[in-house]
A and B are shown apart, each in its own frame.
Chain A
Amino acid sequence: MKALYNYLKEVAFAFVSLANGLLLTLKYFVTPWKSIITENYPDNRANPSVADEFAGEVILIHDENNEHKCTACTLCQLACPNNSIQIISKQVETEDGKKKKVLDKWVYHLEMCTFCKQCIDACPQDAIKMTNSYELSCFDRSTLTKILNQPGSKLKEKPKVTAKVQE
């Protein structure tokens, strides 16, 4: 008799526990808006909810005069773990006859980049930054190798404050 009682008790407990779990499912079935965290992705392209700090594609910052800050010091190239950065520099003779190393091509291999932010961290000039872009897929692999400095861009001249301080 006791065995039967225990058996029935167990069956009752099983039904109660299952109903308890299903109650939660039912709660979300009638109030589905409470748990929605997904987004209608291709429809919300105009203003996607991506954080400003999201680490996407690397770009070389250019100002309105088409000038950048990269001095071709190759620190980012050394810091990159995947060899996805290639700095090609050239020797240029300045007006006063001195030879100077300037940036020729800032080659960025997006296909090898893992977005680890080591290059941004290594740059002493803050010349590069990461954008929020995440739609990086394409049909042709060769389009992933990019030259980041715009044609005709040149190094931003530093304002000559040292002479004024000496005066």
Chain B
Amino acid sequence: MENPIVTPSELKTEEFVVNIGPQHPATHGVLRVEATLDGEIIKDVLPHLGYIHRGIEKMTESLGYKQSIFLTSRMDYLSAHINNHVCALAIEKAAQIEVPARAKAIRIIMDELQRLTSHELWWGSCAMDIGAVTPFFLAFRDRERILELFEQNTGNRLTMSYIIPGGVMNDVRPDFVPKLKALIKSIKEYRKEYDQLITGNFIFQHRTQGIGILSKEQAISLGCTGPTARASGLSCDIRKLYPYDGYEKLDFKEVIDYGCDNWARYVVRMEEMNQSIHIIEQLLDNLPTGDYRTKLKGVLKLPAGEYYQRVESARGELGVYIVSDGGAKPYRMKFRTPCYSNLGAVKPISVGMKIADLMANMATIDLVIPDMDR
């Protein structure tokens, strides 16, 4: 059979749809991204959710207030302490519970350690998405040390359920402060290694600089928060704007970059790790003594009404909205999770870029899929 000779002018081109996910290593979870391509150029990006929907918001309606806290650590499993914290704060606000000073300090230390683990893991996985494998192992090595500290003091490594209404579940161990001091010292050394390996890397810089531009206007209209929005020059740190649990007494900087690209988002997260270390150092030397929790009744009842509380999670603004009808179970509990809003930024920053940049864009936004689906 003869092959007909086709001249280039007769070749038809058409757009091609590629499904990335739901089982794809670059999405870090079960997210399906439907990318419409023209050759190598991205024309459209459509994320599909729902592969890991567990109905956490509905489940809280059949559980009590205390019990629903353990579910929140399953939302954003990389910042479980912060998820517990927002729920505890909302319940304390509604029931007007006083929290001891020691509990507040422990909560902030745990939150910032959690932010460190989250950013360390992000650093490793971001570098791996862009093509470097070594950082992933270094990141897991450093994260492991902090998780070990969590295991010794809270009992669990990933889903702690440690911060509860009225304080914290149990007191930290007597050797917590010296161990944390040694840990902070080693983390500071490792931070230099991160810069040596990736920040100064020529290939990494070229893969991120000027790619994935998210303007400040776009960030505001999409509802982006956290490091993603702060890299576009938007001041949105809840710890500074609406301080909670004594963040107002601490000295730290809100990291803002005006670069708007992937590189700016990288720089903001790296600097936030330094700020977290700085916050922990301030609290370590004068950790208040006394009670670590206020004893509450077995069954907690909130007065009827609506309550909203927000905190700064490792990925952005995390809010919880509780509607109570005066009973022992919430009438409605709605979570405003940062990843769901930040996911909206994937399309505007990726259209017009190459397909390989889509991975870099999704990596620097730092998406955690169970946080979107709940």
Within 8 A of A (CB), among B117-163: 134, 138, 141, 144-145, 148, 151-156, 159, 161
In the complex, B183 has a CB within 8 A of chain A? no
Q: Quick check: A117 and B67 within 8 Å, CB to CB?
A: no
**Top 10 A-B pairs, shortest CB-CB distance:** A55-B155, A81-B67, A14-B202, A116-B70, A51-B152, A17-B202, A116-B161, A21-B197, A51-B151, A53-B155
Given known pairs A24-B193, A78-B298, the reply for A115 and B201 (CB within 8 Å) is no
In the complex, B200 has a CB within 8 A of chain A? yes
Q: Quick check: A54 and B67 within 8 Å, CB to CB?
A: no
How far is B152's CA from A50's CA once the two chains are assembled, in angstroms?
A: 8
In the complex, A91 has a CB within 8 A of chain B? no
In the complex, B95 has a CB within 8 A of chain A? no
Q: How far is the CB of B66 from chain A (nearest CB, A)?
A: 7
Q: Quick check: B201 and A17 within 8 Å, CB to CB?
A: yes
In the complex, B71 has a CB within 8 A of chain A? yes
Point out the residue from A17, A53, A122 that lies within 8 Å of B298, measured CB to CB: A122
Q: Quick check: A81 and B71 within 8 Å, CB to CB?
A: yes
Within 8 A of A (CB), among B193-239: 193, 196-198, 200-203
Q: Quick check: B200 and A114 within 8 Å, CB to CB?
A: no
How far is B296's CA from A79's CA once the two chains are assembled, in angstroms?
A: 13
Nearest chain-A residue to B170 (Cβ)? Answer: A53
B-side interface residues, number (CB < 8 Å): 34
Point out the residue from A20, A81, A115, A117 that lies within 8 Å of B63, measured CB to CB: A81
Given known pairs A14-B202, A18-B201, A37-B144, the reply for A55 and B298 (CB within 8 Å) is no
Q: Quick check: B155 and A21 within 8 Å, CB to CB?
A: no
In the complex, B169 has a CB within 8 A of chain A? yes
How far is B153's CA from A121's CA once the two chains are assembled, in angstroms?
A: 15
Interface 0/1 of A91-109, CB less than 8 Å to B? 0000000000000000000
In the complex, B253 has a CB within 8 A of chain A? no
Q: How far is the CB of A77 from chain B (nearest CB, A)?
A: 12
In the complex, B173 has a CB within 8 A of chain A? yes
- Given A18-B202, A115-B155, 12 more A-B residue pairs with CB atoms under 8 Å apart are A13-B202, A14-B203, A21-B197, A24-B197, A53-B152, A55-B155, A55-B156, A78-B299, A79-B66, A79-B298, A81-B67, A116-B70
How far is B71's CA from A123's CA once the two chains are assembled, in angstroms?
A: 21
Q: Quick check: B200 and A54 within 8 Å, CB to CB?
A: no
Q: Quick check: A18 and B169 within 8 Å, CB to CB?
A: no
How far is B169's CA from A122's CA once the two chains are assembled, in angstroms?
A: 11
Of the A-B pairs whose beta carbons lie under 8 Å apart in the complex, a sample of 9, sorted by A's number, is A14-B203, A17-B202, A21-B196, A23-B196, A24-B193, A25-B197, A53-B154, A81-B70, A117-B169
Q: How far is the CB of B353 from chain A (nearest CB, A)?
A: 22
In the complex, A127 has a CB within 8 A of chain B? no
How far is B68's CA from A118's CA once the two chains are assembled, in angstroms?
A: 11
